[in-house]
């Protein structure tokens, strides 16, 4: 992971550590902090800030909440090179539209 991503992920990790001590109150799954973490891991910083900010603005009583996975543009590689050992899968990309994918975390890998 590039160093600039670690700069954005450190405050999110600290917030997630502290928020585990408090009662859960996010209206969405995945939580807003987890959503922001996924955005910063998979997108450019300016796009991640915009998407995370919009998500936090939606996390109030005026919206129902529910399941809201991040959506990102992704072009799959044309040729998949498999290593000798099975690669660890952290995220699954589930097709939404032509080049848009839902991002779903694989919890069994970690």
Spatial separation of the C-alpha atoms in residues 49 and 69, rounded to whole Å: 16
Query: In this predicted model, what pLDDT tens digit does every residue of 79-109 receive, in sequence order?
Result: 656 555 666 778 888 888 888 888 888 876 5
Q: Where are the alpha helices (DSSP H) in the chain?
A: 3-19, 32-42, 45-58
Spatial separation of the C-alpha atoms in residues 61 and 25, rounded to whole Å: 11
Q: How many domains does the chain have?
A: 1
Spatial separation of the C-alpha atoms in residues 11 and 72, rounded to whole Å: 23
Query: In this predicted model, what pLDDT tens digit does every residue of 44-77 receive, in sequence order?
Result: 889 999 999 999 999 888 888 888 888 888 776 6
pTM of the model: 0.78
Residue 77's domain comprises 3-109
Query: In this predicted model, what pLDDT tens digit does every residue of 38-51 receive, in sequence order?
Result: 999 888 889 999 99
Angle between helices 3-19 and 32-42 (to 10 degrees): 170
Token pair recorded at residue 96: 């939404």
């Amino acid at each position: 992971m590039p160093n600039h991503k670690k700069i954005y992920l450190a405050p999110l990790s600290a917030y997630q550590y502290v928020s585990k001590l408090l009662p859960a109150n996010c209206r969405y799954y995945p939580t807003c902090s987890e959503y922001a973490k996924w955005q910063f891991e998979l997108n450019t910083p300016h796009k991640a800030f915009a998407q995370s900010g919009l998500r936090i603005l939606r996390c109030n009583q005026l919206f129902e909440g529910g399941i809201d996975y991040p959506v990102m543009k992704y072009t799959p590689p044309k040729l998949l090179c498999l290593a000798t050992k099975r690669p660890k899968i952290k995220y699954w990309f589930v097709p939404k539209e032509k080049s848009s994918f839902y991002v779903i975390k694989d919890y069994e890998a970690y």
